[in-house]
Structure 1
Amino acid sequence: MAEFDSLAQELLVQAETEQQRQQERDRALLDQVLEIYGQKYVAEQLKKAGKAEWSRESLNRWINGKGSAKMLTAAEEAQLRALLPSPPAHHPNYRFRFIDLFAGIGGIRSGFEAIGGQCVFTSEWNKNAVRTYKANWYNDKSMHTFNQDIREVTLSGNPAVSEAQAYANIKQQIPEHDVLLAGFPCQPFSLAGVSKKNALGRAHGFECEAQGTLFFDVARIIKARRPAIFVLENVKNLKSHDKGKTFSVIMSTLDELGYDVADADVSGKDDPKIIDGRHFLPQHRERIVLVGFRRDLQLSEGFTLRDIDRFYPTQRPTFGQLLDPTVDSKYVLSTKLWEYLYRYAQKHAAKGNGFGFGLVDPTNAASVARTLSARYHKDGSEILVDRGWNKALGEADFGNAENQARRPRRLTPRECARLMGFEKVGEQPFRIPVSDTQAYRQFGNSVVVPVFAAVAKLLEPRIALAVKKRRNNL
């Protein structure tokens, strides 16, 4: 009998231990989901699994330990897991490793993951962009680190830290990788004088010239980790910023670090480093792309971004094909806003200026939208969908009721996702877990995804060669 009691007690302890482990797994899953979605939305999703007891209040009590410990049912667990991104098809058999700096919502990552890459480190400071990023890109915490302020890694905000200490911290925080991706912000470069250099104990080089900029943080990581290849992205005007001084510092820094930048000696209107997204999607969006190769690995021979035209789509989708057939009326401009934009454009047209809204005809297959900007949420003026507004009637009688019913509208966030290439009509939707305002900012700050998918494909054989050399310790 005692033996039976002992066995029963042992089984009971095992059951309690397993229950505790399950509760811990459930809580970890819930925390992961709540990093992305609000409590109200998560409670609604749990309700869909079949239990009416879920509410924002009951979920909040569980999170704060005010209610009894819970265990998710299999259906509830499945419902939560469906809110998280699945691993890519090649997981875990990755072909190369890359890091994603100033990642935004993952526009550059997409193309490099598509050719078999494994993202091992991501840095993005904007908390709302982080939510969207985590909602769409697989995050295996055993193989991937997420950082919000890159300066905590590079220690660039601490003047008391030596360069050696900074590099040691970078190596500790950022795993080895083959490719570095960075859509770094453009900040004014302060070119320090000799006295400041001496005061900092830095006689020369990028550690002085790029100090105080976020490019400096990228440069520190490149120097510390020595990736075989980097891809840097910025606005077209980076080349002319501060009369060209900013770009000059960037290029000389990359050269000093021991990298060859593709098409470095080309400038002017025919510069292949400037890529227009209109070749892939109906949006005029020019960005500068800097592709660099570690000089000692001899990877750059014959590479040019001119060859990106090999990956232009045979048939670019039209603007109209990216739109939903019906949208909520809240996206139609109010009478007051439309009149303001209309009169504003008239005023500047009379002065011979080009200021004004951008009205895009979705029935015209050749229509190309202006550049979507981060301010799109304010009035949508750069890309307005033409709903049949009669310009002649508007000039004669702006308040005409029939014409007013055809006022233009903004794009919806979902349509912005398509215009930027994050989503294709009829395919897996890009998750947008944030408000419309935040979504517009995120898409307006992002890149045209297929542009960087093409850059990734162009680099694919060079990356394969770099990996081979790494494995052979060359």
Structure 2
Amino acid sequence: MQIHCPLDCLSVSHQIPPVFVKQQFEGRAVAQSSSRSIRRKRPAFRFIDLFAGIGGLRRGFEQIGGHCVFTSEWNTQSQKTYAANFRADDQHLLAGDITQVDAADIPQHDVLLAGFPCQPFSIAGVSKKNSLGRAHGFRDEAQGTLFFDVARIIEHHKPAAFLLENVKNLARHDKGRTFQVIVRTLQEELGYHNLHWRILNARCWVPQNRERIFLAGFRNSNGFSFDNLPVPDLASGPRLRSILHPEDGSEPPDEPYTQGPRGIVNPRYTLSDKLWQYLQNYADKHRGKGNGFGFGLVGPDDVARTLSARYHKDGSEILIAQHGRNPRRLTPRECARLMGFERPGEASFVIPVADTSAYQQFGNAVVVDVVAAIAEHLRPWLPDRSAPPQQLHLPLQPNTDD
């Protein structure tokens, strides 16, 4: 069945970072890696990474032996971070605006990954658009129809499996009708009747309350279920102490985030007196009205609220208490750890962008630990092309010569 895939979505032309070389596929801007081929072991499967952000989904699936052959990400700042953290090779393509890419130009793949834009379906996004009298969900032509770009690519390539990620509000947006359209499209129009979904809280893996919905689909029937996904014990989950700069000299200085021999957090992350007073007054005003709006002041033994893309504005959802001083924001390095892009104490994730962009990118990202757990759970049901083809042994023919 042919799927209507509206292409009147946001289609701004963006410059590809210098690490990539532009190529033109029938007038559509797609970039190909300029590096030389890298010798590597045969990948277990090939996958594509749509609405990739800074690569949270990709990280989880590379850990189980997958090889990414195509990436789509329209934001130029996110492209910079993505390119800085993933080794390029000549078998990988990077595209900007997915609405301008023909499905036929995308390489063949076994698995499709997509974290299509959260804003049209999120609680915050719906509330804001309602107050402005604007459409949202599938009626938001700027982003809401981008799910149908996922659908048209699935229709063309028919991958063995896919994993989609979104905010948990997707399941009940528009009284559940939005989710019904997605499920009906995947099952009835695309034929992926083996469809599973589950809302997971990253709190079990990282010290942050962050609920997201994941949809896994398979072209063929199998025994997969989200019900038996191994989930760490919530009570014994990590605390913020595990991702914060220790500021005791045990961690090398990480300019511009920490400084000096003890690795003290740069004072620029401490809230000004004016901003701190504003946040307190704002919280008091809404508390008097019975609203829950306010800041999230936490310490090393606490768990954070959800890190959002607006964190760069005032940091109010996660403020770290400081003895004798105003609270501070998390540094971008701490955000990288909070989202699972690196382990505590590490500084391995390259952050090549300014703080504002970094906060937006981490706030829009998926927690890598959660994806890694799902990928490992999916692994038995994914294609495995890592083993070389078996040699065919034919029986020896009897010698009939005299």
TM-score (norm 1): 0.64
Match of 2:335 in 1: 416
Aligned to 1:386: 321
Counterpart of 2:367 in structure 1 is 448
Give yes or no for contact 1:105–1:130 (8 Å, CA) kept in 2.
Answer: yes
Change (3 A) 1:97 1:34: closer
1:242 is matched with 174
Following superposition, the deviation at residue 221 of structure 1 comes to: 0.2
Matched residue SS, 2:328: coil
Post-superposition offset of 1:359: 0.6
CA distance in 2, matches of 1:304, 1:182: 20
Q: Is the 8 A contact 1:360 1:369 kept in 2?
A: yes
Q: How does 1:8-407 map to 2 (within 5 A)?
A: 31-32=18-19, 91-140=40-89, 142-153=90-101, 169-171=102-104, 173-186=105-118, 187=120, 188=136, 213-256=145-188, 257-263=190-196, 273-294=198-219, 297-299=220-222, 301=223, 303-310=224-231, 316-324=237-245, 325=247, 326-362=264-300, 364=301, 367-388=302-323, 405-407=324-326
Q: Hey, which of these two has a bigger chunk of helix by percent?
A: 1
Q: 1:104/1:31 Cα in 2 relative to 1: closer, same or farther (>3 Å)?
A: closer
Q: Does the 8 Å CA contact 2:244/2:334 hold for their aligned counterparts?
A: yes
CA distance in 2, matches of 1:189, 1:341: 31
Percentage of pairs with the same residue? 56
Instruction: Give the whole-Å Cα distance in 2 for the aligned partners of 1:309 and 1:277.
Output: 13
Q: Give the C-alpha shift of residue 309 in structure 1.
A: 2.4
Higher relative contact order (CA 8 A, sep 6+): 2
Q: CA deviation at 1:304?
A: 1.8
The Cα RMSD (Å) is 2.9
Structure 2 contact 318–330 (Cα < 8 Å) conserved: yes
Give the number of aligned pairs: 325
What TM-score, normalized to structure 2?
A: 0.75
With over 3 angstroms needed to count, the CA separation of the structure-2 counterparts of 1:314 and 1:426, relative to structure 1, is farther
Q: Is contact 1:262-1:304 (8 Å) kept?
A: no
Closer, same or farther: CA 132–85 of 1 in aligned 2, 3 Å: farther
SS in 2 for 1:100: strand
Shift of 1:298: 2.3
Change in 2 beyond 3 A, CA 1:408/1:190: closer
AA aligned to 1:32 is: V
Cross-structure match for 1:199 = none
| Structure 1 position 426 matched with structure 2 position 364 | no
* Aligned equivalents of 1:351, 1:289: Cα separation in 2: 36
Aligned AA (2:310): R
Whose radius of gyration is greater, 1 or 2?
1
Secondary structure at the counterpart of residue 107 of structure 2: coil
SS in 2 for 1:98: strand
Structure 1 residue identity aligned to 2:164: L
The CA distance in 1 between the partners of 2:45 and 2:267, in whole Å, is 46
Contact 1:87 1:138 survives alignment (8 Å): no
Aligned to 2:393: none
Q: Which residue of 2 aligns with 1:59?
A: none
